[in-house]
Amino acid sequence: MKFPEEVLRIANDIRLMKIRGAGRIARAAAHGLRLAAQKYRGRDRDSFIKYMREVSEMIKNTRPTAVSLPNALTYIISRLMKRYEEGYGLMELKKTVIDSAEEFISYSLHAIKRIGEIGAGRIVNGDIIMTHCNSSAAISIIVAAHLRGKSIKVYATETRPKYQGYITYKALREKGIDVTLIPDSAARFFMKKVDKVIVGADTVASNGAVVNKIGTSLIALAAHEARVNFLVATETYKFSPVTVIGELVEIEERSPLEIVDEKFLKKNMLIRIRNPAFDVTPPEYIDAIITEKGVIPPQAAILILKEDYGWVIKDYILKIVSEE
């Protein structure tokens, strides 16, 4: 089936990381489904469902690690399917997709703001904060604390190989925050000066492990060694229901060309390069997870999952039982 140009462009932008960061990716996916519904020119319900499922699958397959992407799609498609099973007509089904997408996007933006408000309460006047990569949720906390008049200093890691740390540096600088850019490898060097590390998340597993940009777990280790508070800022749609039944989070491996250029690669044909984009920080290294619903210890991740995704988890478990 042919997908609308604009929807294909969104998928491609996610793949190429022109749209990046777990929250932004989720909102772009929701927007993609909304556009697909708006552009649908067919006339019957069944073909619309088939088409929407295919668009959803195509968007889902852009990047594998951030669970916010499938969670955003499920949010919309599950509402669509419910209406379909209740016998609603095509116009109503389209409206369901459009309304659910808008609902998700506005929930997401509100959640980031709320995380800022909740997280700012944890920041003390004079705090020195380290952050890694570029997380809207982590930035929301830092900016909210600054706006409350707290005097803070930030170390932002460069975040090689894609240098998302520069985006963080610019965003904080524009708000008038005292921010210093450091190489990733200097994280331990500066850790003794730091009071809190705040990072975002791409996925939170049911045991409280956090998947985030490569290098996060090394920083967590350095923070643990120096007895520095390690906080994760994340919306609850980054909690992964499949991890409850033991599924592992797929870690995206990206092109070696993000590490070396083509000329180097041609000269060194036999070189082996690995470029994992994310790593896993175990719950033991995380002091708290700050969500829009409040602050939880990582071990309480399962409670969020039960509350928000209980029905999805029940479906998985029933599926496993019926396959046995």
Q: List interacting residues with ligand RUB (CB under 6 A).
A: 20-24, 66, 133, 135-137, 164, 200-202, 212-213, 277
Amino acid sitting at position 167: I
Nearer residue to ligand RUB within complex by CB, 127 or 202? 202
Nearer residue to ligand RUB within complex by CB, 206 or 212? 212
Integer Cα distance of 253 and 287 in angstroms: 28
Asked about 13 being catalytic, the answer comes back as no
Helices (H), the chain: 5-15, 22-39, 45-60, 68-85, 90-120, 136-147, 165-174, 187-191, 216-225, 262-267, 301-323
Instruction: Give the nearest distance from C-beta 280 to ligand RUB in angstroms.
Output: 12
Q: What φ, ψ does residue 22 adopt, rounded to 5°?
A: -60, -40
Instruction: Give the nearest distance from C-beta 1 to ligand RUB in angstroms.
Output: 28
Of the residues 133, 195, 279, 315, only one is catalytic, namely 133
Closest residue to bound ligand RUB by CB? 200
Asked about 279 being catalytic, the answer comes back as no
Nearer residue to ligand RUB within complex by CB, 53 or 160? 160
How is the chain split among helix, strand and coil, in percent rounded to 5?
55, 15, 30
C-beta separation of 68 from 112 below 8 A: no
Helices (H) and strands (E) in the chain, counts: 11, 10
User: Which residues share a beta bridge with 281?
Assistant: 210
Q: What φ, ψ does residue 144 adopt, rounded to 5°?
A: -60, -40
Nearer residue to ligand RUB within complex by CB, 73 or 277? 277
C-beta separation of 131 from 198 below 8 A: yes
Distances (CA, A) of 267 to 48, 152, 161, 256, 273: 51, 47, 20, 14, 14
Burial class (CB in 10 A: 0-12, 13-18, 19+), 298: buried
Nearer residue to ligand RUB within complex by CB, 73 or 201? 201
- So which residues are the catalytic ones? 133, 202
